[in-house]
């Protein structure tokens, strides 16, 4: 049986061939950036080689440095916090909302100090973060907002698109995401200065880079001259490979259908879960849509007497596909747990975010990335049987 990804087909092959035939000159990166900016209605899009490098580059463009505090949720992929640490900054963890699982703006407000420089709201599992109060907090405290939309493509919040509301937004093209280039990522912003800084940072501090991909390169006599000053500062090379960009051009053309498919599958699960009083799905506020990167729900273990492990075992017995638990809260990961920032008066230890600590061990994330709707319906039937079976105990 083929192990190929169902979302990759002839269009991707054609674009990759076109990139090779045209000598890998960067035109696919330019096209991807232009098409992505148009699709999201923003001025600038800058392609990079992962969502993690996108976060790192944006924080560098925001001039986050040693000792600066950046507020992040603890329930997210570790990159959100790690990117702050790459620059010597200190991630400060704000608690989550028990219903949406996204960061709680009241907790953000409580964590602000004179060292706070930025906030990274994450649109978790495909649901846009609650951006209005976050932007209000940022404006009153003169903070940058970087939207981590690695898992949320085309999510809507009060009529606006997730990723376009903060000063900058990032997306991941890793293979599980709504669209993929194998690995990759992209940054969007309307701010020319941030765009230019982020592009320079993501490619070795190159002096000639500007905010827009199409902005004129200096003539060859200048860049080929032995006296040419090429690097303005020390930074990584996060360039998106041209073959990946070619895939991205093709994937973007199908993005609406990829997102619609996941929403349709999320709604199939929702029909099953809505009448169960011991499973609570991620709540989508009326002003938002959930793009269902995964279908997330919490198990009310106390009410049901069912453990996370029991639920998974029965679901698999009933024909359900294996699914992931939520990542450990970032501050509980061995990489940073116990770490202390004396000058910031911060230590990573249990108790920092009680709501997230209560919910994380009980979260179930069902897969929505299926080509075949009938297969998704079979999964929903397995879920229904699991609920019926466990109800009897
Ligand atoms: C919320 C979140 N942020 C950032 C990332 C990092 O993206 P990448 O894997 O492309 O580096 C991910 C990846 O899963 C993610 O889920």
DSSP one-letter string for 58-122: HHHHTT--TT-EEEE-SSS-THHHHHHHHTT-EEEEPPB-TTT-SBPHHHHHHH--TTEEEE--B
In a domain, 4, yes or no: no
CA of 219 to the centre of ligand 1 (A): 37
Contact 320, 379 (CB under 8 A): yes
What CATH number is attached to the domain comprising 355?
A: 3.90.1150.10
Query: Are 346 and 209 found together in one domain?
Result: no
Q: Which residues of 203-214 are buried (b: 16+ CB within 10 A; e: fewer)?
A: bbbbebbebbbe
Structural domain total, the chain: 2
- Residues in a beta bridge with 188: 45, 169
Same domain assignment for residues 246 and 382 = no
Q: What does the alpha-carbon distance between residue 237 and residue 171 come to, in Å, rounded to a whole number?
A: 18
Residue 348's nearest CA partner among 11, 28, 91, 9 is 91
Number of the ligand 1 atom closest to the C-alpha atom of 174 = 10
Is residue 2 included in any domain, yes or no? no
Q: Same domain, yes or no, for 248 and 349? A: no
Substitution candidate for ligand 1 out of 151, 155, 163, 184 with most atoms within 8 A of CB:
151
Name residue, tokens 């079976």: 389
Q: Residues lining ligand 1, CB < 6 A?
A: 50-52, 76-77, 79-80, 122, 148, 150-151, 172, 174, 185
Of the candidates 26, 68, 62, the residue with the CA atom closest to the CA atom of residue 47: 26
In this structure, the answer to whether residues 117 and 222 fall within a common structural domain is: yes
**Domain final residue pick, 207, 224, 254:** 254
266 and 182 in a single domain? The answer is no
The pLDDT of residue 215: 86
For ligand 1, the distance from its centroid to the CA atom of residue 52, given in whole angstroms, is 6
Whether 191 is covered by a domain: the verdict is yes
Residues 206 and 296 occupy one common structural domain: no
Which of ligand 1's atoms lies nearest the C-alpha of 50? 10
Q: In terms of DSSP bridges, do strands 279-281 and 294-299 run parallel, antiparallel, or are they unpaired?
A: antiparallel
Same domain, 134 and 41: yes
1 part of a folded domain: no
Residue 190 backbone dihedrals phi, psi, to 5 degrees? -100, 0
Q: Domain boundary residue among 219, 254, 289?
A: 254
Q: What is the pLDDT of residue 393?
A: 55
Which letter, b or e, does each residue of 163-197 get, where b requires 16 or more Cβ atoms within 10 Å of its Cβ? Answer: bbbbbbbbbbbbeebbbbbebbbbbbbebeebbbb
Which has the closest alpha carbon to 365: 201, 151, 155, 169? 151
Judgement on whether residues 22 and 134 belong to the same structural domain of the protein: yes
Residue 169 phi/psi, 5-degree rounding, is: -135, 150
Question: Mutate which of 79, 101, 170, 173 to test ligand 1's pocket (most atoms within 8 Å of Cβ)?
Answer: 79
283 given a catalytic annotation: no
CATH number at residue 170: 3.40.640.10
As averages over each run of 10 residues, the pLDDT of the chain (393 residues) reads 78 97 95 98 98 98 98 98 98 98 98 98 98 98 98 98 98 97 98 98 96 88 95 98 98 98 98 95 98 97 90 97 96 98 97 98 97 96 96 67
Same domain, residue pair 27 and 156: yes
**What is the distance in A from the centroid of ligand 1 to the CA of 315?**
27
Domain assignment of residue 149, yes or no:
yes
Cα 356 to middle of ligand 1, angstroms: 19
Domain that holds residue 221: 10-254
Supply the pLDDT for residue 1: 39
Domain assignment present for residue 3? The answer is: no
Question: Does residue 198 share a domain with residue 297?
Answer: no
In a domain, 5, yes or no: no
Q: Is the pTM of this model over 0.85?
A: yes
Q: Which of 11, 111, 158, 177 is catalytic?
A: 177
* 72 and 124 housed in the same domain: yes
Query: Residues 114, 213: one domain?
Result: yes
CA of 28 to the centre of ligand 1 (A): 23
Nearest CA to ligand 1 atom 8: 51
The domain boundary residue, chosen from 232, 254, 276: 254
Q: Could you tell me if residue 330 is inside a domain?
A: yes
């Amino acid at each position: 049986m083929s192990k190929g990804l169902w979302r990759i087909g002839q269009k991707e092959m054609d674009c990759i061939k076109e990139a090779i035939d045209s000598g890998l000159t960067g035109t696919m990166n330019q096209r991807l950036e232009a098409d992505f900016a148009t699709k999201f209605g923003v001025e600038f899009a800058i392609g990079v080689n992962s969502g993690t490098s996108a976060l790192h580059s944006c924080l560098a463009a925001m001039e986050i440095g040693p000792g600066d505090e950046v507020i992040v949720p603890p329930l997210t992929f570790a990159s959100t916090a790690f990117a702050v640490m790459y620059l010597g900054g200190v991630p400060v963890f704000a608690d989550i909302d028990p219903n949406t699982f996204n960061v709680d703006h009241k907790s953000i407000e409580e964590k602000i100090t004179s060292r706070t420089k930025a906030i990274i709201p994450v649109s978790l599992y495909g649901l846009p973060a609650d951006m209005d109060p976050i932007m209000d907090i940022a404006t009153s405290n003169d903070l940058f907002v970087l939207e981590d939309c690695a898992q949320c493509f085309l999510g809507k919040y009060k009529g606006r698109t997730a990723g376009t509301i903060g000063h900058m937004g990032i997306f991941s093209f890793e293979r599980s995401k709504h669209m993929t280039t194998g690995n990759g990522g992209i940054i969007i912003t309307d701010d020319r200065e941030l765009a230019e800084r982020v592009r320079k940072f993501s490619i070795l501090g190159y002096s000639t880079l500007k905010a827009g991909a199409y902005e004129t390169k200096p003539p060859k006599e200048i860049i080929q001259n032995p006296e040419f000053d090429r690097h303005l500062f020390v930074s990584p090379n996060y360039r998106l490979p041209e073959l990946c960009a070619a895939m991205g051009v093709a994937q973007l053309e199908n993005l609406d259908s990829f997102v619609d498919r996941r929403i349709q599958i999320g709604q199939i699960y929702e029909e099953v879960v809505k009448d169960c009083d011991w499973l609570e799905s991620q709540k989508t506020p009326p002003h938002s849509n959930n793009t269902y990167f995964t279908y997330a729900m919490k198990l009310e273990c106390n009410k049901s007497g069912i453990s996370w492990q029991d639920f998974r075992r029965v679901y698999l017995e009933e024909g359900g596909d294996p699914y992931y638990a939520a990542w450990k809260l970032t501050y509980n990961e061995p990489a940073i747990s116990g770490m202390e920032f004396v000058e910031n008066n911060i230590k990573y230890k249990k108790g920092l975010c009680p709501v997230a600590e209560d919910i994380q061990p009980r979260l179930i994330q069902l897969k929505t990335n299926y080509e075949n709707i009938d297969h998704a319906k079979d999964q929903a039937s397995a879920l229904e049987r699991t609920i019926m079976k466990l109800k009897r105990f």
